Amino acid sequence: MKNNKTYLFVGVGALLLGCFLLGIKFYKDSQKEKISFMAQNNAKTFVREHSPRLGNPDARVYLVEFLDPECESCRQSYPLVKDLLSKYNGKVQLIVRYAAFHGNSKTAIAAVEAAKKQERYWEALGLLFETQPQWGSHHNPQIDLIFDFLPRVGIDVEKLKTDMLDEGIAKIIEQDMADLKTLGIRGTPTFFVNGKKPGDYSFQALSSLVAQEVEAAYPQ
């Protein structure tokens, strides 16, 4: 009698757990389908005209990264992403989208966007990542420090501060936030390679997906 009860718990428990795992698989598959559908029909959700691009503009593999200059994992993955670009020289282009998830993200994004006008965008983004531990420490964020750092890459800070107030920049951040919502993104960095999401958050998953897409886009 007592054994029967134990079996009942084990049986029903296994059944519920099974449903849970099946649910995960089902949900992930449906998300994948939804995203690849959007990649075909709403390419704009992934790549906007305002989005900064790095690499060969004719490259057939689009590596879209939703990043936040204040996010530590974005900082860590940034050199790896650049390595990927140089590894597939000319076949992959990076498109930067913003996810203003931290307290000072909007200011940092506005700064790099304003640096565009001085043609120092990538320099500014690289510098912000490099100096992030100082200005973006979670215990004591000091966003104003970025204005001390930016002249290092030849940026005129006075001009930058004026350009940062541009309404266009606020609109870009807003548009990217809206696209984040559409795509259901809640973490950074989030990558899409030609509209496909890597299997998991590891860098291995991303680089193997890039390899796969490069192979598909440039058959030997």
Binding site for another protein (CB under 8 A): 2, 5-6, 8-9, 12-13, 16-17, 19-20, 23-24, 27-28, 184, 186-187
Q: Between 100 and 125, name the residue whose CB sits nearer to another protein.
A: 100
Q: Between 46 and 101, name the residue whose CB sits nearer to another protein.
A: 101
Q: Between 12 and 165, name the residue whose CB sits nearer to another protein.
A: 12
Q: Between 91 and 197, name the residue whose CB sits nearer to another protein.
A: 197
Q: Between 1 and 168, name the residue whose CB sits nearer to another protein.
A: 1
User: Residue 44 CB, nearest distance to another protein (Å)?
Assistant: 23
Q: Are 182 and 48 in contact (CB under 8 A)?
A: no
User: Residue 197 CB, nearest distance to another protein (Å)?
Assistant: 12
Tell me the two tokens of residue 15.
Answer: 């059944």
User: Residue 22 CB, nearest distance to another protein (Å)?
Assistant: 11
User: Residue 85 CB, nearest distance to another protein (Å)?
Assistant: 28
User: Residue 217 CB, nearest distance to another protein (Å)?
Assistant: 30
